[in-house]
Amino acid sequence: MQGLTHIERNGCKKMLGLLSKGDILSLTDTVTNKMIAVESVKEAVEAILSYSNCAEELLKRKKVHRDVIFKYLAKEGVVIPSNSEKHQLIKKTLEFWSNATVKTEKVVVSQSPDTEAEQRVSVTAEAAGEAVFEPLALARQFCQWFYQLLNSQNPSLGQPPQDWGPQHFWEDVRLCLLTSINGQQTEEFHGSELASLRLLALARDERLLLSPNLEPHGLRALSSPHGLVLVAVAGTIHRDRACLGIFEQVFGLIRSPLDKNQWKIKFVNLKIRGQDSLSGAEELVSPALTCDSSELQLLCS
């Protein structure tokens, strides 16, 4: 029996956490041919993971519904069209797991009771070293952390919101929000409290789900000699099952020596474009960045 890799096992465990108790118990009977008696959901999940021949087999089970896989991918910050069929979601999930690298798991685990989200945004001293520091690896890790955190505030996902707040921003952070939906509107916010509240409103109040494109054409990173790292990412915006348009977001990140050397957000530029302002449907499938490295370089100066 091939079994599941460590990454696949963790991913499947998260996905099974989205199923109802009845579906999990039923799935246990199917996977184990009713040969294993379980007394709790935890035991049922362990049995499912242990007796599944491979990840693809488990994902194809009827009890692992399409919506469950979609929700899992959204939480992990994986871009996928909202009208994707189950077999497409399975393919994307398997690709996501196969592309996962050890670097994304090199995080600083604090001895204090910090949240998992705060731990994930930290990187090891080795990864922070000048000789091995890779801005693109940090950018991918940061985007997975940020959009999972922000999307968790959306009540339509039906999950407990993670620890969002001004603590993830520098006190003098600047947020610039440009929306092109039925006309163009620009908003600007200064300070960690106002910036975090405005971004929170996008997910919690406006119920928007931001799905970043972490493929090469949708993600770019650049670092300055002074410690500023720029992360630019494109993606799609959803509400429930509807895809509303695309976004392009640029973050400026700087380490905070007073906060366990974690990366904190110095500025955010967010452009949102509705479907009415798009030239073609292709952009909705896998949106690409429009800003290039020279434009990012200007933000470093």
Say whether pLDDT at 136 is over 90.
no
Rounded Cα–Cα distance for residues 128 and 122 (Å):
10
DSSP string computed for 208-229: -EEEEE-SGGGEEEEE-TTS-E
Are 192 and 169 in contact, with CB atoms under 8 Å apart? Answer: yes
The model scores a pTM over 0.85: no
Q: Output the pLDDT for position 184.
A: 84
Q: Output the pLDDT for position 64.
A: 94
> What is the C-alpha end-to-end distance of the chain, expressed in Å?
55
DSSP 78: -
pLDDT interval class at 110 (50, 70, 90): very low
In the chain, domain spans: 6-99, 115-300
Rounded Cα–Cα distance for residues 261 and 113 (Å):
17
Mean pLDDT, residues 180-189 taken together:
86
Mean pLDDT, residues 66-72 taken together:
91
For domain 115-300, give the fold: Nuclear Transport Factor 2; Chain: A, (3.10.450)
